[in-house]
A = this chain, B = another copy of it.
Amino acid sequence: MFKLSTCGFMSGDIVLQPMVLRARLKAPMEQLGFCTKVPRNVNLEKLQSGYLFPEDKNNGYIINLLDSTISRRELQHIEKYPNAKLISLGIGDTTKPLPQIIASQMADYAFGLSTDIGYSGYGPEQGNKALRKAIAEVFYKNELVKDTEVFISDGSQCDITRLQLLLGSDVTIAVQDPSFPAYIDSSVIIGQAGNFEDSAKKYQSIEYMNCGPQNNFFPDLSTISRADIIFFCSPNNPTGHAATRKQLTDLVEFARDNGSIIIFDSAYATYIKDDSPRSIFEIPGARKAMTSFQVAIEVSSFSKFAGFTGIRLGWTVVPEELLYSNGFPVIHDFNRIVCTCFNGASSIAQAGGLACLSSEGFAAVQSVLDYYMENAKILVETFACLGLKTYGGTNAPYIWVHFPGSKSWEVFSNILEKAHIITVPGCGFGPGGEEYIRVSAFSHRDTILEASRRLKILFS
């Protein structure tokens, strides 16, 4: 029990994070004089601090609350080595300029907003018809998906939350372990996750599906408890593994047997070089068989496909055939969520998205992807020649590097301290990521070559 303010005490139920406590003690007490009677959301209380990514890149007040985030470590490193040329292979952020054909179409659209003929106000919340149609055609060939099943978003992370709003707190979820933190965090916020168990580093009510080299990055489904919702990302962030056709067929069958819904994240699908499926709707291969359409939603994005990380554009496909247990179509409720909680992606971003899907735009975007994948190849070769085992890097711009017997934060610290390179410790993606680091290929070539040089010095 610790008195925090004149409002009362923090009860034993509340996880009192040291960083919060410290920040609160720094605050002048007169600022804590008045508390509302509004209870803090119990779900937010359960949410563990986001230690992988910064909570506020520019906000002095908040950043004091943080401790073990990567950005905090980065700041400390810069203070310690002000002259070191720090290289970031951490956050998966695109760095190459947009192809001119895409930027100029957005510029033309934006300028057109100052003319009578070019101005438009609210668009459809679901996105512009032409863009929905282009996505259905380009990404879901052979009429796999109808344009009316495509909902344009401002990015897949935002739609993951909207999907959680759709589903509510009374469903159970399963996630790949390791996986992108947004699935679990949004699940905690909506109230599906239960309490966090410090010893296991897991939320009680979430089914963690371990994926590693021992099972070719695909869970042993015979050991997995049924969950209403299965989040599945392929190519996976962070492991870079693209699930095979056999694996996804097994997953769809598992979902069908259990009456589950798969939320399939294909944000990195355009990086796939081999014949791994780029969409869950390729399973089993035709719409008339319809299996995946009865059990899956797909979220995807222009962020990594076209360098739209800052422009904000993505999409979600909800098939008409997907039904709740009472027979009600999921698409109808998702449409309500989109119309009530969202007002459409920026019209300028949508104009850019359309430019990406023209044949010239698509080819230009592909050359940027090739550039990043050449970076990935350099990184894979670097680790290979150091005798380190890596995964990913061939169908995804992430390299997942194994350091057997090591703690991932220690590996992170060692590489930062001695090579001045930021990576991501694997345990940030879940307990299944321990012993690994994730290295991103989203950099300029000279940066990658310099990183390769430093890594070779460090580990050889």
Task: List the interface of chain A (C-beta within 8 A of B).
Answer: 4-11, 14, 20, 24, 31-32, 34-44, 47, 50, 53, 55-62, 65, 91, 93-100, 102-104, 106-116, 118-126, 129, 132, 148, 154-155, 157-158, 161, 165-171, 182, 185-186, 189-191, 228-229, 255-256, 258-261, 294-295, 307, 309-312, 320-328, 331-333, 335-337, 339-349, 352, 442
Are the CB atoms of A259 and B310 closer together than 8 Å?
A: no
Closest to A149 in B: B61
Instruction: Report A113 CB to chain B, min CB distance, Å.
Output: 5
**Residues from chain B with Cβ under 8 Å of A339 in the complex:** 50, 53, 55-56
Nearest CB of chain B from residue A254's CB, rounded to whole Å: 13
Known contacts A38-B229, A348-B349; decide if A111 and B103 are in contact (CB<8 Å).
yes
Given contacts A310-B123, A326-B7, A336-B55, is CB(A258)–CB(B37) below 8 Å? yes
Contact B7 A58 (CB under 8 A): no
Cross-interface CB contact of A62 among B132, B148, B165, B309, cutoff 8 Å: B148
Stoichiometry (number of copies): 2
| Inter-subunit contact A260/B38 (CB<8 Å) | yes
A340 in contact with B168 (CB, 8 Å):
no
A335 touching B59, Cβ below 8 Å: yes
Nearest 5 CB-CB pairings of A with B: A37-B259, A5-B327, A103-B114, A41-B168, A161-B341
The CA-CA distance from A110 to B310 in the complex, in Å, is 11
Contact (Cβ within 8 A) B168 A44:
yes
Chain B residues with CB under 8 Å of A110's CB are 103, 106-107, 109-110, 348, 352
Report yes or no: B259 in contact with A38, Cβ–Cβ below 8 A.
yes
Nearest residue, chain B, Cβ from A47: B336
Asked if B97 and A113 make an inter-chain contact with CB atoms under 8 angstroms apart, the answer reads yes
B-side contacts of A43, CB under 8 Å: 168
Of chain B, the residue at the smallest CB distance from A34 is B294
B contact residues around A103 at 8 Å (CB) = 110-114
Enumerate chain B residues within 8 angstroms of A154, measured Cβ to Cβ.
Answer: 154, 312, 343, 346
Residue of B nearest to A57 (CB): B124
How close is A211's CB to chain B, nearest CB, in angstroms?
22
Given A327-B4, A348-B349, decide whether A167 and B38 contact each other with a Cβ distance below 8 A.
Answer: yes
Of all chain B residues, the one with the shortest Cβ separation from A310 is B347
Instruction: Looking at the assembled complex, report how far the CB atom of A152 sits from the nearest CB atom of chain B, in whole angstroms.
Output: 11
CA distance A352 to B114 in the complex (A): 12
Residues of B within 8 A of A120 (CB): 310
The one of B5, B95, B186 that contacts A121, using a Cβ cutoff of 8 Å: B95
Known: A41-B333, A323-B5. A124 touches B10 (CB 8 A): no
Q: How far is the CA of A207 from the CA of B115 in the complex (A)?
A: 45
Chain B's nearest CB lies how many Å from the CB of A38?
5
Contact B58 A14 (CB under 8 A): no
Given contacts A189-B165, A258-B37, A345-B312, contact A104 B111 (CB under 8 A): yes
Instruction: Return the chain B residue nearest A182 by Cβ.
Output: B340
B335 adjacent to A56 (CB under 8 Å) = yes
Q: Indicate if the CB atoms of A337 and B189 lie closer than 8 Å.
A: yes
Question: How far, in Å, is A160 (CB) from chain B's closest CB?
Answer: 8
**Is A325 a contact of B40 with CB atoms below 8 Å?**
yes
Bound complex: CA of A347 vs CA of B36, how far in Å?
A: 35
CB pair A191 B169 closer than 8 Å: yes
| Chain B residues positioned under 8 Å from A170 (CB to CB) | 39, 41-42
| B326 close to A39 (CB less than 8 A) | yes
Closest to A124 in B: B57
